[in-house]
Each structure stands twice: as C-alpha cells, then as structure tokens.
Amino acid sequence: MDGNDTVSPERYASGAGVNQLGARAHNERLLLSLVQRNGALPGAEIAKLTGLSAQTVSNILRKLEADGLLLRGEPQRRGVGKPSIPMGLDPDGALSFGMKLGRRTADLAVVDLTGRVLGQRLVTYPYPMPDAVFQFLKDGMAALSETLTPRQRANIVGLGIAAPSEMWNWIDALGAPQDFSVWQDIDIAAEVARFSDLPIFIDNDATAACRAEHHFGRGRAFPDYAYFFIGSFVGGGVVMTGAVVDGVQGNAGAFGSIQVPGRNGGYVQLIEEASLYLLQESLEQIGIDGLEMWRMPQDWSGFGVEVERWIERAAQALAHASRAACAVIDFPTILIDGAFPPVVRDRLVMRTQALLGEQDTRGLIAPRIEAAAIGGNARVIGAASAPLFSRYFLT
C-alpha cells in the first residue's frame, strides 16, 4: 500500500448511532468522525453506516452546518431521483495551536479542522530552557494569530503541547548544564496559563506523532500497527482496533526502552542505537554544525557517508525492536517516520525491512515495515489535533 491508500467507509464506521434524543452529542461526534475519517459523505450513506434514521441524520447535518463545522459539496446525481449532497468538514470551523517541545527544536503551528498547517514557527537551540521556550510560545501564538482571518481567530479552541517524557533525564546526551534539570519542577500547564486562557492538552511527543499519522496520514489505512518516530530520541505509539492506545499509565508504545544489541556488544536501549542525536554527534566529530540537521527546509545532501552509517545502525536496531514488539502484540504492520527528509525515511524503511528478514522470527508472523506519511511535522500536528478531537470527534 502507498501514500494514496484508500479505505472503505465501512471499516471506520465508529460504531452504531443512537436515535434517543439525549444522545445527540454522541451522534454529532459520530457523524463528524465519519466525515473526518472518510471524506465528504451524503446523508444516505451516513445513515447506512450508523444505523441512524434518515431524519435523524438530516437534522444533525443541518445543525453541524449551521454551527460552521460542515460544508455542502456539489450535488451528485446517480441514476434517477434527487441528487445526493456530500457533506465535508469546514476547515475553518475549528482551529488549534500545537507545539512540539523537542530537545533540539521547538515547533509551533496553527492547524485547521482537517489537520492542515496554516502557519508555523520554529526555533533551534543546543538544549531547551523553560524561559526561552515559553517566550517563544507566547510570541509565536500572537504572531500566528495575526496571520488568520477574524473567523479563524474566533474559532481557535485550544493548545496542544507534545513533549518528551522525563526530558530532564537527558542532561548528558544533550550536553546541557545541570540547571537543565529545572524541567522536573516545571508545571507546563501552569506556565502557559500565565499568558493564555486556551484549554491546554499535554501529550508525549511520540504518542502525539502517532495520533497525527492515525488521524491524517497512512494510519487511516491500518487498524492495527506499531509506530516508530525517530527524533533526537526514538519513541513510538500503538494503534489497535482503529484507536491509539495510551496505556493504563499513559506510556504505551515506549519503544525507545526496548533492549537491542549494542554496537559495542551487550544490549542497550533502542534510543542508544536509533536516535538522531547519534547522527548529530557524528557530524560534529567531523566538523559539521549538528544544528544544521534541524534547519528548515531540511537538506541532508551534504552529510554524505555519515547519514548512510546512521541508517545502517538505526535499521539494525529497529529490526530487532520490531521483532520484539510483535512478540508481544501481533502487529501486521510497523510504520516508521521521523524528523528527517523523506528520502532518508524511505531508505531507513527499506533497510529495516531487509534486516528484519534476517531475524529469527520462529513463532512469529513478521510484520510489513512501511513508511508513514506525515513526516517531521507529525509531533506538532498531533499536538494541535488533541483539542480538536477532544471537542468534536470520537477518538
């Protein structure tokens, strides 16, 4: 399957509708979710998928259109009878800010109801410190708001923030000073509330990336998969029966902790073999400014053999981690994405698939290794989607 995969609406019908008057909020979310997942649909098709009566569907569609969340498409005539009118999401019906707080960059974007990035700002740094990060967020939200229409500004519904778990534990890997550990005592929501009254949603960065892929990328075509996202450190997410799994403690898909063979013998965590900080270190050892990796638009053509060496090392580790993940849950598919150019992602996917074929998979059904579609923006888009999905969709 490729990036143009299509999926029948039946696969992602989010459960049967309920005709009782008191269930309207659920039914509104159900209809919006069907349209978000499958594209514009006529009322008759929605009624068929949900089991709701045609009248109930018609009433809900009229309300959602009046609320500015749905738009009428062009009438479609199929045979005799009245033409059907597909209803699709109104992109400007709701917007959200999203920020990815990373170890080397912070990205801020404003995203519409369809997941499209309307504006974005980025800052790079050797390591993030709270005062600078929150000032970037405050100034960036103000600047991006000025680029929007009055209607778009009025329809901003929240702010999502995606950040690594326990970032303060990576002082040595980042080369940060000891006062970097101040993050352990920072209440991100409280800091943001000093300058914004928007509802705030905070998520693990790799899980946020998984949500973006699941809602807007190739993840729509796969009901069950493991997802690896490779940034400064590698993390992941889990999707089962068409939903992102958070886990009881919110830590599902912590694939960076999987033990894999280390290049110097023994076993180490996946983050020590497949993370991009390793490539940055190797570039700096030969005199290249490692921060060039993170500049936008990304151009790694000048990094030469160091990229190829990193791909081989990371693919070896990802092949082992993929086998381990499938020994726990029978994933038919592994999706891989990261904060790198698409050509690097595609080479990494191909090499991981080849090396997985060399693994001892007795007792397992080896998964297909596939390229995800969203790319380096997955974490910031996933962060921005949290307020939108919390308010309008069934997740």
Q: What CATH number is given for 94-208+380-392 in this structure? A: 3.30.420.40
| Average pLDDT along the chain | 90
- pTM of the entire predicted model: 0.89
SS3 222: coil
Encode pLDDT of 3-13 as tens digits: 334 333 333 34
Q: Is the peptide bond before 297 cis (omega within 30 degrees of 0)?
A: yes
Is the domain covering 218-373 a CATH 3.30.420.10 domain? no
Greatest CA separation for the chain: 74
Encode pLDDT of 317-362 as tens digits: 999 999 999 999 999 999 999 999 999 999 999 999 999 999 999 9
Which H/E stretch holds residue 240? strand 234-240
- Structural domain boundaries in the chain: 9-89, 94-208+380-392, 218-373
Position 181 scores a pLDDT of 78
Distance in angstroms (rounded) separating the CA atoms of residues 118 and 70? 19
Answer yes or no: same fold for 94-208+380-392 and 218-373: yes
In the numeric block, the tokens 């400064």 are attached to 232
Position 81 scores a pLDDT of 65
DSSP letter at 169 equals: G
DSSP letter at 312 equals: H
Q: What CATH number is given for 9-89 in this structure? A: 1.10.10.10
Q: Nearest CA to 251 among 241, 236, 240?
A: 236
Distance in angstroms (rounded) separating the CA atoms of residues 203 and 320? 27
Encode pLDDT of 285-301 as tens digits: 999 998 899 888 899 99
Encode pLDDT of 241-281 as tens digits: 999 998 888 888 999 999 999 988 899 999 999 999 999 99
Tokens of 60: 């809900």
> Could you tell me which residue, 124 or 177, shows the higher pLDDT?
124
Q: Residue 159, CB half-sphere, CA atoms under 13 Å: how many?
A: 25
SS3 158: strand
CA dihedral for 32, 111, 341, 201, sign (positive or negative): negative
Question: Once rounded to an integer, what is the mean pLDDT over residues 209-229?
Answer: 95
